[in-house]
Every structure is written in structure tokens, then in C-alpha cells.
Amino acid sequence: MKTPAKTLMIQGTASSVGKSILVTALCRIFKQDGFSVAPFKAQNMALNSFVTRQGGEIGRSQVVQAEAAGIEPTVDMNPVLLKPEADARSQVIVRGKLLKTISAGEYYKYTPYLLKTVGSSLSYLRSIYEMVIIEGAGSPAEINLKEREIVNMRVAGMAGAPVLLVGDIDRGGVFASLVGTLELLDEGERNYIKGFIINKFRGDLRLLQPGLKLLEKRTSKPVLGVIPYFRNITIAQEDSVYLDERQNSPLSSDLDIAIIRLPHISNYDDFDPLEEEGCRGRYVACPAELGTPDLIILPGTKSTIGDLAHLRQSGLAESIIQQAREGKAVIGICGGYQMLGKSLHDPEGIESTEKSVLGLGLLDVVTTFISQKSTTQVKARVLTDRGLLEGMKGQELVGYEIHMGQTGNKQSAGAFSIVETPEGKADYLDGTLDTQGMVLGTYMHGLFHNPGFRRNLLNSLRRRCGLPEREHGTAAGKETQYDKLAELVRQNLDMAAIYDIVNQGIGN
């Protein structure tokens, strides 16, 4: 009988301290060192999600971590996913499929059932891999939640996983955060923590040394590394805090792209590749920030009707409509596609208490929300060669769908034909291109991750703007980025000590 995989868990003093990126780095490092390794996060709360080959929906971070580990993502890597909606509700997705939509108070009634699911997925991963790197969520010291949590110390105990505690020094107060977290844990939980990692450090490490020594003396636990703040490595992010921290592309970029920052924006990693092509990507939240970009993008959202109301209240809806009527290019993805239509109907109250609302009216389509959720990977073919899709007819691309609405196209043909899903050959239409060819909507996430499609579309825009075309982007591919991240982290972590911790488990 195979010995269960060794485990290591990364927990943090708070959200957005760098747990996900460190798990990604460790997955890559252990892979480079010859181990079969898998990521695991028991419960994730995120609007950025992904559809696996089997049609299951999981958090985007676990997909990135699986890619870094060189394996295919599966629902066992993130058995519970919470997707917040309006009115303090969340979709609860269990092993990739929607269980139900409930309030925060109701959610905790399901904890015993969910904990069994977590244990089953963790055991399965440990049965087929040599190592499992586990990510916690938020902080393990949230004393009001400790009795009901299913993602931090309870999972560490379930896995027998030694824990490395991460603090973000860029925020300030990192020593108080690390010591305070330990103080709020009980003695048994403190024994799981085998060392500290300080993340996002800027400055002279020599000036930090006295603090590190005092931290080790105060806690009797080692500092295993100080990871420098970096901007030159591109890894897809899941937490929307990333949108607050990110910097806009340099002003020297040619095309100016405005991405509407909806209150419930989802899957914004769809647009990361645009900057690889020399574009200036801006996330805008009000008309004053919109300006006159070369392309406006309405992204996906977990609350289409609510976010559409926000567009109207903020004045962005009027600005987008006016610019589109003047010939501005507009692209809507998933929920953004739904908003571009004439109307949205919700007879079953899936999205809102509003039974029917008007859309922006830029596409001749109507959306009706239904309880069945579409989650599938797709292969598609471009059906037209006009406007934004000029010269692309017949081009093939890949992506994935995550949506609860069905959108009817009154035109004779869609913008794309779906030709294949993981179940086999397919034959249905997706998306719409308006009569001028400058407003495009589609349900396909990952559209801009197709290099040929992305470059053709952007060059079409450049021609219209009188800008020179570009042959290719400048950014390195994913594999190179994961290797760069692993090298940076390896250089700044005591990997020999971490291997000792992994091998000794929680017994030392």
C-alpha cells in the first residue's frame, strides 16, 4: 500500500499576504527537484474561477499552482469554492458543481458535510502524489470563526501538515502580526507552526536582521526566509486586492484599453495577456477615469443585474453607450456580454429580485437566467471576418464557459461556432458581433489567452487607430514565469530547513 504523500501547509497572518504565490513557487520547486506534487486548498472564496477538463469549477489559484506543478487541475485541489453574490449571498460549489446559493449564516450549517468532502479530496490527492502543498485562507487566528473553519488549522490536523506562517512586511506591522497570530492560537495549534516567512520585503536586509533575531527569540521559531517584493514576474492573481495594488501599464504603450471594474468583477485574469502585446490596460470605476480609450471591455461578473445597475448609477453605462455609438470598440465577456444585450430576464430570481431589466442595447440579444449552470471547456471557430474579427474567419481558439444565463441571438449567426467540448464534437453558436463589427460579446473566458486571435484583434484596432502593427508580444511564457518565481523563492528561502520540516512532519 502506498504511503500517503508528505504535506506542507502555508498559512498567513491575513488575506493577501502571499500564500497563493508561495504555494505556486513551492509546487514548482518540488517539481524541479523531482517530486510529483499537487496543490490543495480546502475552501476558497474567489470570483476568479476556472473550469477543469471534467467540467468542474475551481479557484483560479489552484489552477496556477497545478500548472506550476506540471499537472492537470482537478476539483480535488479545491473541493469547496464560494463565489460571493449581491445581498451577502454566495454560491457554494462542491467538487466543481453548484450545491446551492445561501447566506453566510446558512453556510455554517453545512460545515460537517463539507469537512467530509474536504477530507475525501485531501486523502485522494495524498494517495496519488508524493507531496501535497496546502494553502490556508485568511488567518488561522480569527477567533470568531475557529470553531467552524474548514481551511486552516483543522485541515493542518487532518493532514498532519507542518505549517509555515507568512506575514506581509509591505503592509507594516509584520512582527506584531506574526507574534499576535501565535498568541491567539492554542498550544496544540502553535506546535503545528514550524517557522515564519516574511514576504514582500523592500530595502536592505541587513537592517531587518535585528527584528528577525528578536522574533526568533520571542517565539522560539525560525525565520525561514525573507522574500523580496517583485514586479517583473507575471503570475495570474485571484484576489481582487491585486487590482488595488497593480500599476497601470506604462504610458508608452500603444493601445489604451479600459476594463470596467465592476463591483463583482470575475475572471479578470482574462485580460492579463493584453499587456504582453504592448497595450495599456486600465481598470476604471467611474466616467472620469474612462477617458477615450481605444477599446472598452466589460468583464465577467458574479452579479450581472446588480452590476448593470451600478453602471447606470455611476454614469458609466451612458458613457459606454455614447462611445460605442461613435464607433468605439467594445467587447463583453460572459456577464459583460449579457449586459450588452437589449434585456435580461430573471423569472426564477436566480440573480436578483428584478424579474426583467433593460440592457445597454448595444447587441441585439436577450438573456434569460436559468438555474442550470454551464461549465465546460470549449474549442471554437471564428465565423466572420468583419470589424474586430477582420481576417480571422475560420481561426480556431480555446476557452471555457461559466455562466447561468442563456443568451438568444436574433441575428442569423453568432460570432463563433463551438466545435468541441471534452465530451466530444459540438455544434452550437456563441457570441454576437454587431452590424458595424465594433461591438463583440461572447461567453468564452480565456479568449485573449489565444495568441493568434489576440494579436490579430489588437492589430485590427491598431490599423483603425493609425498605429503600426506588431508581430508578437514581448512577455515570457507561463513556464518561464514559473521558473523565474521558483528561482527567486529558492534563493531567499532556507530550502534545506524546509525539506527537514516536511520530512519530520509535525512530530519535531
Could you give the CA distance from residue 459 to residue 311 in angstroms, rounded to a whole number? Answer: 29
Yes or no: say if 5 and 125 are a contact pair by the CB < 8 Å rule. Answer: yes
Query: Beta strands of 159-261 (E only): which ranges?
Result: 163-168, 193-201, 223-228, 256-260
Task: Indicate the SS3 state at residue 255.
Answer: coil
Could you give the CA distance from residue 153 to residue 139 in angstroms, rounded to a whole number? Answer: 10
> Which amino acid type is present at position 494?
D
Could you give the CA distance from residue 305 to residue 353 in angstroms, rounded to a whole number? Answer: 10
Q: What nine digits make up the cell of 468?
A: 503600426
Yes or no: say if 357 and 429 are a contact pair by the CB < 8 Å rule. Answer: no
Catalytic residue of the set 334, 345, 403, 472: 334
Catalytic residue of the set 264, 310, 403, 445: 445
Q: What nine digits make up the cell of 117?
A: 468532502
Cα end-to-end distance, the chain, whole Å: 26
- Tell me which residue of 442, 447, 448, 445 sits closest to 428, measured CA to CA: 442
Q: Reading across the β-sheet that carries 439-442, which strands appear in turn?
A: 280-284, 256-260, 295-298, 329-333, 439-442, 432-433
Catalytic residue check, 27: no
Catalytic residue check, 279: no
Task: Indicate the SS3 state at residue 247.
Answer: coil
Tell me the residue length of the chain: 508
Yes or no: say if 236 and 262 are a contact pair by the CB < 8 Å rule. Answer: no
For 421, other C-beta atoms within 10 Å of its C-beta total: 17
Yes or no: say if 53 and 377 are a contact pair by the CB < 8 Å rule. Answer: yes
Query: Beta strands of 177-222 (E only): which ranges?
Result: 193-201
- The strand pairing partners of 209, in sequence order, are none
Active-site residue list: 334, 445
